Structure 1
Amino acid sequence: MSDLTYSLKVFKQIGLLKPVAPHRLLGAGVQLAKWGPGLPSGVNAAAKRFPHQLAIIDDAGEITWSGLAGEINQMTQALKDRGVEAGDSIAVLSRNHRYMIIAIVAIMQLGGRVLLLNTMASRSQLGELAQREDASLVIVDQEFLDVAQDVDRSLVVLAWADADAPDDLPSVSSLSEGLSTRAHPKPERHGQIIIFTSGTTGLPKGARREEPKDLKPLIAFFGAIPYRGNSTVVLASPLFHSWGLINFGFGLSTAPTYVLRRKFDPAQVLRDIETYRAEVLVVVPLMMQRMVDADPAVVEKTDVSSLRITASSGSALAGELANHYMDLFTDSVYNFYGATETGWVTIASPKDLREAPGTAGVPPFRTTVKILDPEGRELPQGETGVIHVGNDMPFGGYTDGNTKAFADGLMNTGDLGHFDEDGRLFVSGRDDDMIISGGENVFPRELEDALIDHPDISDVVVTGIADQKFGQVLAAYVVLKPGVSLTEDEVKQYAKTHVARFAVPGRLMFLDELPRNPTGKVMKRELPEFE
């Protein structure tokens, strides 16, 4: 199939070729020509094509595309009235809801820089970041006011405001009230989003993404994850993270209805899928695990048959999680392997995950993936090396001036992996996670995947620690399911029947829970040390 034929097929699939009234189609085209690639064009084009369709359903209620575009225009004017100009930086610390979207798109409409912060950002991180980036405003949910204590209070605006919000702080809603909903002219510079997603200590490192120059990234994404036009999308993954953001941003071209909730609750997600006949659910793997572990009575009585796509990314899929999930719900899991810096590397379909559990999938449209050795030479199929990628989602570098390493024109992902005979990629783990135990190369993920499938284990992470006898050994941190008990010897005996001798844990510790961030990644620096 030629690139043109493939592109037209994808455009038809996502509704870009759907018949629309000529004046609405013209209006959308004007918005795309005016703003170029990015969130403002996506929102404004959707508002022109489908003004009366619901855009967002959230904890505040419902709003149409035309209503959303109008409130964004009001917020854009409010920012201008506050003296914000093109090129100025505004920090945003928020959960998923309409006011976060309104703030982000308004900032971009006036050509500003959005500093998008992880909801686990600390007080010192936010204060130092606002000072370093010379933030004109800091927009936070009311629940994060304690985190914003070191920020000049005159710069603080509430995104989500509760009924008991402080009287001296304006909100996105109050700032916009009564202002004109008229469209704004294109700013002198393009708006930009900087994603800050570091852990809990140290100043966050900002990753700058360049806007796509054309529609090729859309074709790659939707060619692999088959969104359809005007679908309902339950977007559970955090919007501050690149996975949530790419599904929102790219999804705009399909003019969907987004269901957003401030807090993830498995029962609520299932109710939303049933109530709104959602076709798409966007999650991180930890959310999938919690849905699998949800109250069986709730799962049994909830109809999720409308679900065609469960789009997952943010951390590795553990063990047989994808198949456990599909057995319980629908054969819908599409697993995206990539990173903020790399964009996508590979995407696994339900068929891939059924036939080759644990695979990261295959490279999508116009994506090159190679396995290279330390000297930059490509390795043959089956051999493990460093994964390198090239695609149409350019990385703009870090805000500190650094960038990722490249070899053979491809970006170094920092992960090790190999291709199988069917061209499917398998990721062994980070290149700095590998340990040498008794002369053998050992990856923690092999043991993690084995232990998570134990019927009494609900969560696990494995790291490498120093050992006098073997140099290094694997150390497992295990969380048991409620009401069960296991001994260290029982876990090790189970491991011996599922992994090689050198991958059996040398040390083991039981915990009540693992320290995970909102995207599900374990913050290993917060794990207790072995004595």
Structure 2
Amino acid sequence: MNNKPWLQTYPDEIPSTLTYTNQPVQDYLKMAANENPNRISIHFMGKEFTYQQIYESSIKLAGYLQELGIKKGDRVAIMLPNIPQAVISYYGILMAGGIVVQTNPLYMERELEYQMKDSGAIAIITMDILFPRVTKVMPKTDLQHVIVTAIKDFLPFPKNLVYPFIQKKQYGIVVNVKHEGHNHLLTEILKQPTRSLKEYEFDFEEDLALLQYTGGTTGFPKGVMLTHRNLVANASMCKAWLYKCKAGQEVVLGILPFFHVYGMTTVLILSVMEAHKMVLLPKFDVETTLKTIQKQRPTLFPGAPTIYIGLLNHPDLKNYDLSSIDSCISGSAALPVEVQQKFEEVTGGKLVEGYGLTESSPVTHANFLWDRPRVKGSIGVPWPDTDSAILSLETGEHLPPGEVGEIVVKGPQVMKGYWNRPEETAETFIDGWLLTGDLGYMDEKGYFYVVDRKKDMIIAGGYNIYPREIEEVLYEHPNVQEVVAAGIPDPYRGETVKAYIVLKEGATTTQEELNEFARKHLASYKVPRLYEFRDELPKTAVGKILRRALIDEEKKKTNDHIEKQA
């Protein structure tokens, strides 16, 4: 107890340790269907699906995947937004014995090719409008099969007839894929009889359920190996934290993308584990979200600060009833106190900040939703079965309360390691502690605070963005001599990407040209919003570009501007 002072602050309803059933993730969908077959699992744009329907569709997909040759341990990618097919795909892959590789639908060919090569995925489930992108990278990867679906496939009548015209207007393309050869249509798969599945023995603690890609400034994204135990443990912790929520009675707003580990755990897995109803939105649009909240009356709303900020800043906010919202845990970036307070005033619910990282499935800390006073500026306390400490950057020793060092964590939700990267895995752990790369401190009561990031990763709008990836692309521009990307303060996104450019002697280019070039190779959220052309960049004596010096310059500009306004 003395080594974990936060346990003294736990409400009686939250146990300090939990019991985990040794069942793989996919078993929870089977249980939900067996126990609540007619309960609504998904609401999607006016159409609803029961747990029995989702389970049966997942079983059909699993049998088809096995017939294609998918066996235990094979990697199968999902490149979909939050639509019913994403849920079916996720559980279908696991039922087949595969390992899910979550892939961002915004990825361009370069990014997609890298992830498919690194994971060794042999099949991918994607949308019709992304099919051309996937087919271009297939010859360079191990991909053998593409399963294609369309948003219209799961829409109610007459939306399913109208949507293709909307899609054509929005994207300018119509893609028709035939169910033949290496191309497969999910609609055709789900029409087929259910096949008997080959059963595999699962090792709850060792077998992987997921490769979730993350990265750093020293290299390209890495596949975080998350086991069935990792994911089940973190969802179980979330269930314990939300102790006032009732099984099967909550409505969960699914805006956080499932290809992000936070959305996958707190919306997808937790909802199925508790047989809640998920209201899915394929993308975040402020007005659509407000209308959905008013009509569908969600009670749980996991989100990111930019989502809450976007809703609060809508000019017609007062015309919408958001009073159904009871509980929200914000992740992915720091939650401004004023946003928290205003959102609670508008909804009457509770919004608290949590903390985690992909390597921990992802949540490790959170503030209490109920029965405890708010602690300003804190990321909260460690979750059940989770240990955390502050290590000295100089000595590696544990630091006492109040002293700043690196935040480290232990717990059953912590990853097995990085896919095919034993050296980087070893560097990320010290004496069993996962190094988060974040600098912070703990107070006397066990509340943790983040003060800075040791890593140079940029978090913009809840997305993790890795500077080196941006720099690699911009270095390919024929007129660029030197480039460094950095995250600078942004009142809406938390941070935004700025690129500092030194052009080759005699060369000329514009911000517009660089922007167009970057958009051909990077997902839109990674593309720099700002460019600054310089004669030279700040460097160390050995020629290393000082990214931190540029960030400090920007912070000083921001502070000077604030002081002038004051």
What is the TM-score normalised by the length of structure 1? 0.73
Q: Determine the structure 2 residue equivalent to 1:335.
A: 353
Map 1:137-148 onto structure 2 (within 5 A): 137-148=123-134
Map 1:491-502 onto structure 2 (within 5 A): 492-495=560-563
- Deviation of 1:208 after TM superposition, in Å, equals 0.6
Q: d(CA) in 2 for partners of 1:408 and 1:261?
A: 42
Q: 1:195–1:208: 8 Å Cα contact kept in structure 2?
A: yes
- Deviation of 1:112 after TM superposition, in Å, equals 1.0
Q: 1:460–1:477: 8 Å Cα contact kept in structure 2?
A: no
- Deviation of 1:186 after TM superposition, in Å, equals 2.6
- Deviation of 1:120 after TM superposition, in Å, equals 3.2
- Deviation of 1:42 after TM superposition, in Å, equals 1.0
Map 1:222-301 onto structure 2 (within 5 A): 222-226=239-243, 227-230=245-248, 231-247=250-266, 248-295=268-315, 297=316, 299-301=317-319
> How big is each residue's C-alpha offset from its partner over 1:344-363, in whole Å with a ceiling of 9 and x where there is no partner?
33102357997433211111
AA matched with 2:342: H
Q: 1:281–1:307: 8 Å Cα contact kept in structure 2?
A: yes
Q: 1:266–1:294: 8 Å Cα contact kept in structure 2?
A: yes
- Deviation of 1:211 after TM superposition, in Å, equals 2.0
Q: Determine the structure 2 residue equivalent to 1:414.
A: 437
- Deviation of 1:328 after TM superposition, in Å, equals 2.9
Structure 2 residue 128 is matched with structure 1 residue 108: no
Structure 2 residue 192 is matched with structure 1 residue 192: no
Q: Determine the structure 2 residue equivalent to 1:504.
A: none
AA matched with 1:472: A
Q: d(CA) in 2 for partners of 1:409 and 1:202?
A: 23
Q: Determine the structure 2 residue equivalent to 1:212.
A: 229
Q: 2:75–2:100: 8 Å Cα contact kept in structure 1?
A: yes
Q: After superposing the two structures, state which structure 1 stretch, 411-420 or 350-359, moved more.
A: 350-359
Q: Determine the structure 1 residue equivalent to 2:184.
A: 170
Map 1:58-457 onto structure 2 (within 5 A): 58-59=44-45, 61-148=47-134, 149-152=136-139, 155-160=145-150, 162=152, 163=164, 164-168=174-178, 169-180=183-194, 184-188=197-201, 192-198=209-215, 203-212=220-229, 217-226=234-243, 227-230=245-248, 231-247=250-266, 248-295=268-315, 297=316, 299-318=317-336, 320-342=338-360, 343-350=362-369, 355-374=374-393, 375-402=395-422, 403=425, 405-432=428-455, 448=489, 452=491
- Deviation of 1:332 after TM superposition, in Å, equals 1.6
Structure 2 residue 563 is matched with structure 1 residue 472: no
Structure 1 residue matching 2:353: 3-state secondary structure? strand
Which segments of 5 or more consecutive residues in structure 2 lack a partner in the other structure? 2-6, 153-163, 165-173, 458-485, 501-536, 541-545
- Deviation of 1:241 after TM superposition, in Å, equals 1.0
Change (3 A) 1:77 1:159: same
Structure 2 residue matching 1:366: 3-state secondary structure? coil
In percent, how many aligned pairs have the same letter?
Answer: 22
Q: d(CA) in 2 for partners of 1:229 and 1:10?
A: 16
Q: 1:37–1:214: 8 Å Cα contact kept in structure 2?
A: no
Q: Determine the structure 1 residue equivalent to 2:517.
A: none
AA matched with 2:345: D
Structure 1 segments of 4+ aligned residues over 6 angstroms from their partners = 199-202, 351-354, 462-465, 488-491
AA matched with 1:187: Y
Q: d(CA) in 1 for partners of 2:130 and 2:199?
A: 32
Q: Determine the structure 2 residue equivalent to 1:519.
A: none
Q: After superposing the two structures, state which structure 1 stretch, 119-128 or 104-113, moved more.
A: 119-128
Q: d(CA) in 1 for partners of 2:562 and 2:230?
A: 51
Q: d(CA) in 1 for partners of 2:553 and 2:186?
A: 45
Change (3 A) 1:351 1:49: closer
Q: d(CA) in 2 for partners of 1:214 and 1:462?
A: 31
- Deviation of 1:203 after TM superposition, in Å, equals 5.0
Q: d(CA) in 2 for partners of 1:50 and 1:83?
A: 32
- Deviation of 1:198 after TM superposition, in Å, equals 4.8
Q: Determine the structure 2 residue equivalent to 1:47.
A: 33
Larger RCO, structure (CA 8 Å, separation 6 or more): 2
Structure 1 residue matching 2:335: 3-state secondary structure? coil
Structure 2 residue matching 1:204: 3-state secondary structure? strand
Change (3 A) 1:213 1:156: closer
AA matched with 1:305: S
Q: 1:160–1:171: 8 Å Cα contact kept in structure 2?
A: no
- Deviation of 1:215 after TM superposition, in Å, equals 7.0
Q: After superposing the two structures, state which structure 1 stretch, 160-169 or 423-432, moved more.
A: 160-169
Q: d(CA) in 1 for partners of 2:85 and 2:264?
A: 15
Change (3 A) 1:286 1:352: farther
Q: RMSD of the TM alignment (CA)?
A: 3.8
Q: 1:352–1:359: 8 Å Cα contact kept in structure 2?
A: no
Q: 1:125–1:202: 8 Å Cα contact kept in structure 2?
A: no
Q: 1:212–1:394: 8 Å Cα contact kept in structure 2?
A: no
- Deviation of 1:191 after TM superposition, in Å, equals 6.0
Change (3 A) 1:301 1:147: same
Q: d(CA) in 2 for partners of 1:215 and 1:78?
A: 26
Q: 1:37–1:213: 8 Å Cα contact kept in structure 2?
A: no
Q: d(CA) in 2 for partners of 1:116 and 1:94?
A: 9
- Deviation of 1:282 after TM superposition, in Å, equals 1.9
AA matched with 1:67: Q
> How big is each residue's C-alpha offset from its partner over 1:52-81, in whole Å with a ceiling of 9 and x where there is no partner?
011011147211000111111111122123
> How big is each residue's C-alpha offset from its partner over 1:445-493, in whole Å with a ceiling of 9 and x where there is no partner?
9x95xx73xxxx786559998499x993645769xxxxxxxxx989624
Structure 2 residue matching 1:87: 3-state secondary structure? coil
Q: d(CA) in 2 for partners of 1:474 and 1:136?
A: 41
Change (3 A) 1:322 1:476: farther
Change (3 A) 1:477 1:10: same
Structure 2 residue matching 1:370: 3-state secondary structure? strand
Structure 1 residue matching 2:438: 3-state secondary structure? strand
Q: d(CA) in 1 for partners of 2:145 and 2:284?
A: 29
Change (3 A) 1:424 1:120: same
Q: d(CA) in 2 for partners of 1:214 and 1:145?
A: 30
- Deviation of 1:334 after TM superposition, in Å, equals 2.9
Structure 2 residue matching 1:192: 3-state secondary structure? strand
- Deviation of 1:239 after TM superposition, in Å, equals 0.2
Q: Determine the structure 2 residue equivalent to 1:440.
A: none
Change (3 A) 1:319 1:353: farther
Q: 2:43–2:278: 8 Å Cα contact kept in structure 1?
A: yes
AA matched with 1:176: L
Q: 1:108–1:191: 8 Å Cα contact kept in structure 2?
A: no
> How big is each residue's C-alpha offset from its partner over 1:415-446, in whole Å with a ceiling of 9 and x where there is no partner?
00012344321101212459xxxxxxxxx99x
